Structure 1
Amino acid sequence: MSPGPFFAHHTHAAGEEPAASWRPLSEVLDDGPVLRDRVAQVQAVLAAGGGDVELRVAASVAHLGLAARLLSPALASALGEAAVPDYADAWWQPTVGGAFPLSLPKAEPSGEDLVELFDRRVLSGPLARLDTAIGAFSLSETIRRGNVASALNGAMTMLHSERPEWTDEATAFVGRLEALPALADTATRDRGRFRRKSCCLIYRAAPAHDGPKCGDCVLV
């Protein structure tokens, strides 16, 4: 059983094209109409609360959700199967909000160091591509990198709760990931408590741009 919706995904044979309802994940990783529509949808949802939501705030919230959706199944696969799926052959189904349906090729153990494989197939793959696209919304690199770190920590925290037998391995694995160039110096850990060095900006979605801060925010 999946630990939660952000971990759940379909599988397909490598190189196999899913049914017509599936779309290539690549279309949401680049600065194009699909990603821009998704950011606009997030902006509309946030603005429903009565705030004047800046585009960069919506972009940050959308980016954080997308990062969590991409990181979570890969982390669970690395810890549970000693394998990392290849996101170059990934598919999705557009939905508004939440964890959209995701289909990944069946991951198989390769014998390669899992941290290096995770970096190449996830952090330096789809997440790096998404990072470039989200940068077009005037969202700083510091916030973008912090969003990825926060999404990874959130996935690890959920696995600690749902898969307690993985706790030590997950903590060590994520610690190695956090030392990689893609995530280095994005956050601190004090007695295990994660605190990012940036803010995702969601507090600015509230009226007067004065909403509550996230528990791991640098502003808390």
Structure 2
Amino acid sequence: MVLLLFVDLDPELTALGSLGGFFVLRTGVPPRGPLPTLAQAYATPWIGDPEEVYADSLTFRIQKVAEGIHAPEPRIAVSVAQQALAARLWSIALGAAALYGQLPDLDPELLHWDPDGSAPDDLWLSKVRALPATAIGEVVRDRHLAPLAAALRSRYRISERLLWGNAGSALAGAWRQLDRWAKADGRTDVADRARGLAADLFAHPDLSGTVDPGTLRRRSCCLYYRLPGGGLCGDCCFDRPPGRAAGPL
């Protein structure tokens, strides 16, 4: 029997900082003032004040990413931005669930996001309240990734298979990083907990088949290779970049 050693879910979630930048979740009110919530970002149509700086935070973020990576077509920026946000959400949730044995409620109404921030995405949780670790799928997949995918597909020419492939890749990446940290720090309890949670998450129909269970190599492409000078990601489904005439993925 494996003994799992958990700590309480502290108000500032400080223990997550030791896992790496993608796992950090700040709490309270950002120094620069209130930020839009992810619930607002996912809303279609936009439900905020059109006079706000971030009148449409999701579109703002996509445009910022497109400019930053010199994307020749919008769907590449959509893919990169969505996978980056998915990686942050999975990392926070999986890290907390494995380390604390509990999950902070990442309700989209409580989770604030700076679409003008740098990478990794700047997230703030306005209220810390604990949920059981087993709620991770409902919290991240159902309450974030599904509405995010719906919002992106309503605005851009982007494949649903690609978006869930990105989500699977992001989950695998969070799991690998957490596993490396746990083994380096002698926390086999954390590694075992993360492995069990990730396996359960990959069993869900939305994520099942998105990555190879043995190698964690993804089975769809994120389109990164289409960027100027872009190559293949470490978990890419391709062995070499396909021709530029390749169809939708």
Distance 1:98 1:218 in 2: 24
- Identity across aligned pairs (percent)? 32
CA RMSD across the alignment: 2.0
Report the Cα offset of residue 71 of structure 1.
1.4
- In 2 relative to 1, CA 39–93 (structure 1 residues): closer, same or farther, beyond 3 Å? closer
SS in 2 for 1:91: strand
Q: Which residue of structure 2 lines up, in the alignment, with residue 180 of structure 1?
A: 204
For residues 196-217 of structure 1, what are the alpha-carbon distances to aligned partners after superposition, in whole Å with 9 as ceiling and x for unaligned? 110000110125xxx3111211
Question: 1:206 — aligned with what?
Answer: 228
Contact 2:113 2:121 in 1 (8 A): yes
> Structure 2 matches for 1:48-127, cutoff 5 A?
53-88=72-107, 89-104=110-125, 105-110=127-132, 114-115=133-134, 117-127=135-145
Q: Does 1:196 align with 2:218?
A: yes
Q: TM-score, normalised by structure 2?
A: 0.75
Partners of 2:58 and 2:115 within 8 A in 1 = no
Query: What SS does structure 1 have at the residue aligned with 2:216?
Result: strand
Counterpart selection for 1:161 from 165, 176, 180 = 180
Counterpart of 1:6? 22
How many corresponding residue pairs?
A: 203
Q: Counterparts of 2:181 and 2:101 in 1: how far apart (Å)?
A: 18
SS for the counterpart of 1:97 is coil
Structure 2: unaligned runs, 5 residues or longer: 1-14, 47-55, 240-249
3-state SS of the aligned residue for 1:127?
helix
**Map of 1:128 onto structure 2:** 146
Of 36, 43, 47, 1:23 maps to 36
| Contact 2:79–2:163 (CA under 8 A) maintained in structure 1 | yes
Superposed CA deviations along residues 160-200 of structure 1, whole A, max 9, x for unmatched, are: 1222222232122201110012211211123xx21111000
Residues 214 and 141 of structure 1, relative CA distance in 2, 3 Å threshold:
same
Tell me, yes or no, if the aligned pair for 2:168 and 2:218 is still in contact at 8 Å. yes
* Greater Rg over alpha carbons, structure: 2
Give structure 1 stretches of 5+ with no counterpart.
Answer: none
Q: Which has the higher helix share?
A: 1
